[in-house]
Amino acid sequence: MIHRTGPSHAPRAFSCPMGPSLSITERTVFGTLGCTVYGYPSTGGILIKEADLLDMLFLSLPRSHTSQRSPNTDEEDRFCNHLRRTGATFWPSKQDWLDVQMGLREITEEEEKVMVYGWPTDRVGVWVLRFRSTRQLPSDFGRISLAKNMEEKIQIIKEYGATFVEDIKQVEELNTI
């Protein structure tokens, strides 16, 4: 808290907001509305995902306590490949992500894109749903976060026009790490 005296010489208090940590060891950070998951590819940058229950299960992450990144580069890259499959967004750095959140810089088209994937239990192919930005999301899109399993999620994204891709190597967004 910073105290200043104004023209009336009465102290005024200004609060300096504390931003999210710039740590590069955090895997998960819980907030009031859920959990943010971070991945740190060896090629640089950071993957960030506001995770729902299915994401946490898909990534085999604990849902009741925080976790840290792997110190092993190969393990971290494997995790990042899985995290990308949840629709995580790649950012040049955590600071870039924070700058966009705070309105200090414009978001790029790639950062603004919303990717939603549904992974069939038979492990063949993937259902893909793309939006250019969150502004394109249907008004009832939040129901996806209430899916209790991947089959339900796939059914919902199909209702929004998801397309099935048998060879996941054909999904450009999954081949960027």
User: Residue 23: its pLDDT value, please?
Assistant: 77
Q: Which of these, 34, 140, 134, 41, lies nearest to 91 by C-alpha position?
A: 41
pLDDT digits (tens, 9 = 90+) for 34-81: 999 999 999 999 999 999 999 999 999 999 999 999 999 999 999 999
User: Residue 24: its pLDDT value, please?
Assistant: 81
pLDDT digits (tens, 9 = 90+) for 102-120: 999 999 999 999 999 999 9
User: Residue 19: its pLDDT value, please?
Assistant: 53
In this model, does residue 177 exceed pLDDT 80? no
Domain ranges of the chain: 22-175
pTM to 2 decimal places: 0.84
pLDDT digits (tens, 9 = 90+) for 84-101: 999 999 999 999 999 999
